[in-house]
Amino acid sequence: MTETIQLAQQLIQIESVTPNDNGCQQVIADYLRPLGFQIEPMPFGEVSNLWARRGEAKPVIVFAGHTDVVPTGPADQWQYPPFSAHIDENGNLYGRGAADMKSSIACFMVATKRFLSEYPNHKGSIGFLITSDEEGPAVDGTVKVVEALEARGEKYDYCLVGEPSSSQQLGDSIKNGRRGSLSGRLTVKGTQGHIAYPELAENPIHAFAPALKILTDTVWDTGNEYFPPTSFQVSNIHSGTGATNVIPGDCVVDFNFRFSTEQTPDSLKQAVHTILDGCEFQYDLQWNLSGLPFITPAEGALIQAVSEAIRQKTGLETQLSTGGGTSDGRFIAQTGAQVIELGPLNATIHQLNERVNVNDLNQLTDIYEHILINLLVN
């Protein structure tokens, strides 16, 4: 069993549901300290964060990831206990966090150790930015570490996030950007009344229906070479008192935009308010911005280094993608660093029986090491 697999098992066996790190970052720190890394715990609130850096020179490449995991769901429905890190006869490593993304962190660690052994006099610096708040609110994790590093003028050039980016085969896809996420909670105000006397009430559901059609029919943009068109989706509509003979007094609508670099939060807010203001109802609207879109251009040094490493180790020509949800890359990209996401297959993330193949992890370790060589040696 390789060192990568042993480390991955050690991390997966730690029950670290958001925001509890529960000792994972201590394992990482104890591994990196003998390699010459300066270790700096950076806790905020209930969240554990770790910043580790080796070297002072540029360029600086940062490995970023998270030790927190989502809840397991019904543990008795797993094929193996969710924190057992069991490896089956087919070489599949089971456990919550196996794909998302403790295994990637293990690959980071071993790749760095191998690289430093082979190239002790490399140029530049290496950093690790690890949080226990990626799967949760994400307010006291990576974003706070980034703000603290920015405040003291500590910059980095490249960031590799170990999120599970691969689709059908390891390395077939990398994320070179993500869409922004803007959510709204709309309260349409009506007048409650008896359902048999509609003339004495004002039904907020009926009032909102024409606006809903306009919002869902609107083409917000057509996207660009990196992003699909901006999408608008309603996730929940709630109204009523529980009685079948009462017209409700209000209707609450939760919705979300996943938006490209063709839009800004302000442009989307203005467009929505223009639509709603043109309708005949009173409303209140609260907004929440959870992430801005970002893109790392294909011609950048990081994507070139990553693509070459994948080609060298797998023979694949990787595809660039901006699909999927948000990640902590959105915070790091705002510093101006080039950011990509490269990790194992994403087929089982957040599911029962989450798993990765051990051969993929050994190969991913080789890819990460080759990326370091491309950026800090070649």
Q: Check the CA dihedral 142-148-150-153 and report its sign.
A: negative
328 is catalytic: no
Catalytic residue among 21, 68, 133, 135: 68
280 is catalytic: no
Q: Check the CA dihedral 226-140-52-10 and report its sign.
A: negative
Cβ contact 334:95 at 8 Å:
no
**Read out DSSP for 253-269?**
EEEEEEE-TT--HHHHH
Q: Which long-range contacts (CB under 8 A, 24 or more apart) does 273-280 make?
A: 275/211, 275/214, 275/215, 275/218, 276/186, 276/211, 279/207, 279/208, 279/210, 279/211, 280/207
The Cα–Cα gap between 150 and 173 comes to 30
Question: DSSP strand E in the chain: where?
Answer: 38-41, 49-54, 60-66, 92-94, 125-131, 158-161, 173-175, 177-178, 180-189, 193-194, 231-239, 246-247, 250-259, 282-291, 294-295, 319-321, 338-341, 355-357
Q: Provide CB contacts within 8 A for 225, sequence distance 6+.
A: none
Catalytic residue among 21, 100, 133, 134: 134
Q: Which residues are catalytic?
A: 68, 134
